[in-house]
Structure 1
Amino acid sequence: MKRGRLIQDYLADIFDVSQKAIKVVEGVAYADFEKNDEKIFAVIRALEIIGDAVKHIPDSLRAEYPQIPWRAIAGMRDKLIHDYFGINILRIWNTVQKEVPELLEVIKQMLENKSISEIQLRL
């Protein structure tokens, strides 16, 4: 029988995908990024996954980490999924350059928090 996913599983997803998104743009200038469909698609997909994963983090835990813009992350995911022709590539670039590394640091702290590892989320 398949076990339900834990909150820690979603945090690990966010952590792993954030690292991958950062790696995609490592050493890349914006002028090159905006012309590279593969990199754009990879970063957009990463942001979609991150946005989906944050929707599984309970409000009670989100409240303990107000420095993370939880709703904005989920909202960006919705925009990327449903309004894909209206995507602003510069916004995607700025997100992966500034906001994703900041998110990564906080998610790392959350994963190291023993009390979070004991919280279970069953789907």
Structure 2
Amino acid sequence: MTQKRNSLLFLSDILQEIEGIESYVAMGKQEFLQNETIQRATFYRLQTIGEAVNKLPDELKAKYPDTPWRDIVAFRNLLVHRYWRIDLNVVWAIMDSDEDSIIQLKPVVQELIKELSS
């Protein structure tokens, strides 16, 4: 018998993966571009985030309409289904840009975790 996961578990997964990505960003762009292990780990983390976001109910995501939920899932699909088209500079920008970084998702996820935990 399979057990259905709840939103709090998916949000915890997202938070954990964002924190892992933060550790890669701290190593710097050059390390990311030269280290295939970090690249592949990043791809996995981004895939996990996208899959977990996809599993969140629409009502929950609607509380944060400015969060690019659809883009996060779309990028996950690109990583999985069009992996040969991945540009490492684009991945780095997703990790480290000031405005559109996946790390900007962290406070939203933390707030949702707080909401669901109370």
TM norm. shorter chain > 0.5: yes
Percent identical? 29
Which is richer in helix? 2
Q: Structure 2: how far apart are the matches of 1:84 and 1:2?
A: 30
Q: Write the distance in 1 (CA, Å) between the matches of 2:12 and 2:30.
A: 31
Q: Unaligned stretches of 5+ in structure 1? A: 119-123
Corresponding position of 2:15: 15
Q: CA deviation at 1:3?
A: 3.7
Structure 2 unaligned blocks of 5 or more: none
- In 1, distance between residues paired with 2:74 and 2:80? 10
- Equivalence for 2:26: 26
SS, match of residue 55 in structure 2: coil
Aligned to 2:113: 111
Aligned length: 115
**Which secondary structure state, in structure 1, belongs to the residue aligned with residue 27 of structure 2?**
coil
SS in 2 for 1:17: helix
Higher alpha-carbon deviation: 61-70 or 11-20: 61-70
The aligned amino acid for 2:77 is D
TM-score (norm. length: structure 1)? 0.86
Q: Normalising to structure 2: TM-score of the pair? A: 0.89
Q: Select the structure with the greater relative contact order (CA < 8 A; seq sep ≥ 6).
A: 1
4+ long deviations beyond 3 Å: none
Counterpart contact for 2:24–2:32, Cα < 8 Å: no
RMSD over aligned Cα, in angstroms? 1.6
